[in-house]
A and B are shown apart, each in its own frame.
Chain A
Amino acid sequence: MSDAVLALTNVRVQFGGGKVHAVDTVSLDVGAGEVLALVGESGCGKTTLIRSVIGLEPLSHGSIEVEGVKVGRGARGLRALRRKVQMIFQDPSGALNPRHSIYEAVAEGLRIHKVKGHEPTLVADALSAAGLRPPERFLQRYPHELSGGQRQRVLIAAAMALRPRLLLADEPVASLDASIRGEILALMRSYVDRDGVSIVAVTHDLGLAWNIADRVAVMYLGRIVEVGPADDVLRTPLHPYTKALLSVVPEIEGMEQQILTGETPDPSRIPSGCRFHPRCPVVASGEAERLGFVDRCRGVDLELEPEVGSHRVACHAVQIST
């Protein structure tokens, strides 16, 4: 394998006895010290995908490797994996045990993974690195005595205390107040710049991607439809779905709003052909028909094509125009 920290190859995750295709053939690499933002609407499979990386969802097909070691299902393998891969969640209040002190919350992982060193020092250093200073002020407190932002810092401290190679973050700032958001994102980025950890951040917030991500992957109905450097994907999106997502971000001036109709699609009923075609503006506007490739949109399923410039895109229109 290459020097990728995380390598996904043709990953599929199915639920309900194979009826629901939550993740449908995804291949993706994340390099050392790289921040990847995985964006998409709810139900697109982004959370399922990162849960499978940490062994919480069994794969129906494909493989996942972390630093060249295949993610298996055995207890010992999973423990070794979780030393290298840690995860933080959207709701920091639900992720902390209300009856454990902050010290306990951070020390628990150190004990499970038998991390060498003086435990109180390791805990204090982890809290301090996560911006909870002086750490002595926090050690004996309980989650309910902290603010939402502080709780998220505790979880980041507990995850990073194990010195993982990869941090998975599921909507890390979605439940936090607006003014706190930037500080937490800056904190996450600081571990990347200082320790070279890699991060996969799952989010529907494209601003988060702009703030901290090196690369962006856009997911739709279980599949990645566009991936590339954040600067390029966010400023010159190629896939019609990425374009639509960016057009509805209120912060972007001068872009005509492309509001897709209909609900977030259902992964138990994936449309034929390009799975985005029923909502695709290129099809709806008649452009695909005029240019003569609408039959492909409706009938031919496709995966990410080789690079167009710096992006890879799964779209018949982009393929034909290049």
Chain B
Amino acid sequence: MSLLELRDLHVTYRGERAAVPAVRGVNLSIEAGDTVGLAGESGCGKSTIAGAVLRLLPKETEVRGQILLDGEDVYEMKPGRLRAVRWTGAAIVFQGALHSLNPVKRIGWQIEEAVLLHSKMSPRAARERAQDLLDRVGIPGDRVDKYPHQMSGGQRQRVLIALALACDPQLLIADEPTTALDVMVQAQVLALLEELQREKGLALLFITHDLSVLTHTCKRLAVMYAGRIVEEGPSELVFTDPQHPYSRALAAAFPTIGDMSSRMHPEGLAGDPPDPADLPSGCPFHVRCAVAIPECATLDVALRDAGPGRRAACVHVGAAHV
């Protein structure tokens, strides 16, 4: 049994004028201790998936399909059970560390609060636990009484990681945890996540638009476009030998320094990421695709086998392997 399993997940937001299908049929499973990267651009539905797993989306949002956490359907849970599962079953680290912390509470207390609410620890033990956790993420214990504004962006992101680990979750969902950080601080936070993942056998669902970061951190990779997974497989292969033209563009977006083919030659995709409320017909990528053929405008291709452990949703994929 997988730790997390998404079965044909559809998420539709209620827009002002029309329904907005943000996630359109995603299947994904994460085993205990596994590291999976979810890549894609703004509006592709990747953060919606993060929110859907712990039922953090607006009430009127329509969620179809199933989300099984350790075999249990998250959307069938009673409120009490859901509260217990949040933090202990799965926890999320969000992007904007400044907005995820309470600005008028000391950071140590914010961790203690989570511990006290989810375990039977005494206040004193909870405080020790908070100190240990901060220590673990590289923040000196004497900082427990600081407020968020007294810390740097990198430190706040570490506090959020400590907070997410407060109740020993089995699954950590990291939604763009390093996007707002400097390169060196990003490297520090990534190294920390990798270390924690190894040490605690944590499963990690890592969400970002930066494919190279994912390749570094995750064993498996899924690339999303317009609410669907368009390619999945082992990270290294998806990055170095992408099968879907969109993954290829995403992989090329961040150049390899030293690779002369990208020197003075930035590569990008024409057009803009699609508007989820107004998706193109057929394969939604065809309007930006360099290798589109006439039938792409009408044919919506599902994921196909693209080699061992790999799948891609492109009309060219089957053809290449026959």
* Chain A interface (Cβ < 8 Å from any Cβ of B): 41-42, 147-150, 177-186, 189, 204, 206-207, 210-212, 231, 234-235, 244-246, 248-253, 257, 259-261, 263-264
The answer to the question of B262 belonging to the interface, with a C-beta cut-off of 8 Å to chain A, is yes
Give the chain B neighbours of A204 by CB distance below 8 A. Answer: 182-183
Contact pick for B254, options A147, A178, A248, CB 8 Å: A178
Give the chain B neighbours of A189 by CB distance below 8 A. Answer: 264, 266
Contacts A179-B41, A189-B264 known; A150 to B272 CB distance under 8 Å?
yes
Give the chain A neighbours of B264 by CB distance below 8 A. Answer: 189, 211-212
Could you tell me if A181 and B257 are in contact, using CB atoms closer than 8 angstroms?
Answer: no
* Bitwise interface map of B from 260 to 297 toward A, beta carbon under 8 Å scored 1, else 0: 00111111111011000000000000001000000000
In the assembled complex, the Cα of A285 lies from the Cα of B273 at a distance in Å of: 47
Give the chain B neighbours of A263 by CB distance below 8 A. Answer: 152, 154-155, 185
Name which of A177, A181, A186 has the most chain B CB atoms within 10 A of its CB.
A177
Report the minimal beta-carbon distance from B209 to chain A, rounded to whole angstroms: 5
Contacts A149-B272, A231-B263 known; A253 to B256 CB distance under 8 Å?
yes
Q: List 26 A-B contacts (CB under 8 A).
A: A41-B184, A41-B185, A42-B153, A148-B42, A177-B42, A179-B268, A179-B273, A180-B268, A181-B253, A181-B268, A206-B183, A206-B257, A210-B258, A211-B266, A231-B263, A246-B257, A251-B212, A251-B256, A257-B187, A259-B184, A259-B187, A259-B188, A263-B152, A263-B154, A264-B152, A264-B185
Contact pick for A210, options B188, B253, B262, CB 8 Å: B262
Q: Given A179-B288, A180-B272, A212-B264, output 11 extra A-B contacts at Cβ < 8 Å.
A: A41-B184, A147-B272, A177-B41, A178-B253, A179-B268, A179-B269, A182-B253, A210-B258, A210-B263, A253-B256, A264-B182
Interface size range of chain B in the complex: 35 or more
In the assembled complex, the Cα of A257 lies from the Cα of B211 at a distance in Å of: 18
Report the minimal beta-carbon distance from A3 to chain B, rounded to whole angstroms: 22
Report the minimal beta-carbon distance from B185 to chain A, rounded to whole angstroms: 7
In the assembled complex, the Cα of A207 lies from the Cα of B263 at a distance in Å of: 9
The answer to the question of B216 belonging to the interface, with a C-beta cut-off of 8 Å to chain A, is yes
Report the minimal beta-carbon distance from A197 to chain B, rounded to whole angstroms: 16
* Chain B interface (Cβ < 8 Å from any Cβ of A): 41-42, 152-155, 182-188, 191, 209-213, 215-216, 246, 249-250, 252-258, 262-270, 272-273, 288
Give the chain B neighbours of A182 by CB distance below 8 A. Answer: 252-253, 266-269
Report the minimal beta-carbon distance from B210 to chain A, rounded to whole angstroms: 7
Report the minimal beta-carbon distance from A262 to chain B, rounded to whole angstroms: 9
Contacts A207-B254, A251-B255 known; A178 to B41 CB distance under 8 Å?
yes
Contacts A252-B256, A259-B191 known; A180 to B216 CB distance under 8 Å?
no
In the assembled complex, the Cα of A211 lies from the Cα of B255 at a distance in Å of: 7
By beta carbon, the residue of chain A nearest B270 is A183
